[in-house]
Amino acid sequence: MLFVIDVGNTNTVLGVFEDDTLEYEWRIKTDRYKTEDEFGMLIQSLFEFKNLKFTDIDSIIISSVVPPIMFSLEKMSRDYFNLEPHVIGKESFSKYLKMNYPNPKEIGADRVVNAVAAIEEYGGPLIVIDFGTATTYCYINEKEEYCGGIIAPGMNISMEALYTKASKLPRIEIESPDSVLGKTTIDGMKSGIYYGTIGMIDGIVNRMKDELNTSPKVIATGGLSQLIAEDSTTIDEVNPHLTLKGLYIIYKEIAKENDH
């Protein structure tokens, strides 16, 4: 079995693949101060609930946009699984993804992994939108080259900014409002965050299509992708497991290289 770990700024997603199938998935809060032992005990409790053991895992692959957490995760892999993890970003991305981008080292590991999975599943051209701490847009052309993208504040960042910077505004849950026009402060905030995000998504995607003079398939992933896709006019498909699938695909490439 393959254990995959995707570390985002807000959440960390864990998964276990058996053959080509994602059998188990968990989402935990990212804590950059956790020690290797705390990670080990947390993962053990998640595994036990599914009747898994550390010894069931043959390999580990990690993608992270939070560098301080990596020491603990790598040490946890060695101490608890007795495995040396594969870490996305330690080597050049070019062996997994064709680049049409001036400085590939700038690209976050999560965006590379998403692109790899999207190309495998859909081919090019594509726009991949990831609803994480930031909302990111990546463009992959018809030659299946990574060509760049856009980074915007995520929905949770926008919501927290309203709460922390405006004294009288409360913290709210992000959800689809009953109508565009809010009749209360909370409804107005919900509408602003929700429809503001949809307007941004559709506006940016349409501008990208106009500038590129092409009609790429638009794939959404990340925690809030399903919510936004319900009212977006430009998102073609939601793929909630895109990042984990990308980690699995890259691992298969690494395994092939090691066999030769």
For range 28-48, the mean pLDDT? 96
* pLDDT given for residue 172 in this prediction: 86
Q: In percent, how much of the chain has pLDDT > 90?
A: 76
Q: How many domains does the chain have?
A: 2
Asked whether residue 219 is assigned to any structural domain, the reply reads yes
Q: What is the pLDDT of residues 97-126, one digit of tens each?
A: 999 999 888 888 899 999 999 999 999 999
Is 124 assigned to a binding site? no
Residues 6 and 72 in one domain: yes
Residues 131 and 214 in one domain: yes
Is 37 assigned to a binding site? no
DSSP 3-state of 14:
strand
Asked whether residue 54 is assigned to any structural domain, the reply reads yes
Is 111 assigned to a binding site? yes
Lookup: tokens for 216: 């790429």
Asked whether residue 117 is assigned to any structural domain, the reply reads no
* pLDDT given for residue 108 in this prediction: 87
Selected catalytic residue, list 20, 31, 110, 259 = 110
Is 108 assigned to a binding site? yes
Residues 130 and 232 in one domain: yes
Residues 61 and 156 in one domain: no
DSSP 3-state of 126:
strand
Instruction: Say yes or no to pLDDT of 167 above 90.
Output: no
Residues 50 and 142 in one domain: no
Q: Rounded to an integer, what distance in angstroms lies between the CA atom of residue 115 and that of residue 109?
A: 10
Lookup: tokens for 144: 């299946």
Asked whether residue 253 is assigned to any structural domain, the reply reads no
Residues 67 and 171 in one domain: no
Asked whether residue 232 is assigned to any structural domain, the reply reads yes
Asked whether residue 260 is assigned to any structural domain, the reply reads no
Q: Alpha carbon of 106 to those of 62, 94, 239, 247, 249: distances in Å? A: 18, 13, 25, 19, 22
Residues 71 and 169 in one domain: no
Residues 83 and 127 in one domain: no
Asked whether residue 252 is assigned to any structural domain, the reply reads no
What pTM, to 2 d.p., does this model score?
0.91
Asked whether residue 155 is assigned to any structural domain, the reply reads yes
* pLDDT given for residue 260 in this prediction: 61
Task: Please say which residue of 60, 87, 114 terminates a domain.
Answer: 87
Share the mean pLDDT of the chain. Answer: 93
The domain in which residue 197 lies consists of: 122-240
* pLDDT given for residue 17 in this prediction: 97
- 31 included as an active-site residue: no
Is 133 assigned to a binding site? yes
* pLDDT given for residue 87 in this prediction: 92
CATH number of the domain to which 177 belongs: 3.30.420.40
- Buried residues in 173-197 as b, exposed as e (16+ CB within 10 A): ebeebeeeeeeeeebbbbbbbbeeb
Query: Parallel, antiparallel, or unpaired: how do β-strands 86-87 and 134-140 relate?
Result: unpaired
Q: Which residue has the higher pLDDT, 38 or 108?
A: 38
DSSP 3-state of 198:
helix
Task: Please say which residue of 87, 110, 139 terminates a domain.
Answer: 87
Instruction: Say yes or no to pLDDT of 92 above 70.
Output: no
